[in-house]
């Protein structure tokens, strides 16, 4: 059975039944990637290195080790951004 045939069969169902199928598919997709914390399933979070960066930043913030910079003017903001 091809995907087109399946979709055609689904489209003939009443709306309520189609919604049940969509919900089941979404649940299945969510179960396939339980480690991705992004509600939208952003693939950026699939890379363990990115997760490590986020976890390190969270831990640093909890330990208050993060460097804080207060920018007071447009000039300071521009200078800060230029140095990134």
H runs (alpha helix) in the chain? 3-11, 15-32, 48-62, 74-82
What digits encode the pLDDT tens for the residues 2-27? 878 888 888 888 888 888 888 888 77
pTM for this structure? Answer: 0.37
| Domain residue ranges of the chain, discontinuous segments joined by + | 3-82
Does residue 28 register a pLDDT over 80?
no
């Amino acid at each position: 059975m091809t995907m087109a045939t399946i979709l055609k069969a689904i489209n003939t169902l009443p709306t309520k039944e189609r919604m049940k199928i969509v919900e089941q598919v979404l649940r299945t997709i969510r179960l396939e990637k339980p480690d991705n914390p992004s509600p939208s399933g952003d693939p950026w979070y699939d890379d363990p290195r990115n997760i490590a960066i986020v976890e390190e930043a969270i831990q640093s913030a909890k330990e208050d080790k993060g460097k804080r910079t207060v920018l007071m003017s447009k000039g300071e903001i521009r200078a800060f951004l230029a140095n990134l």
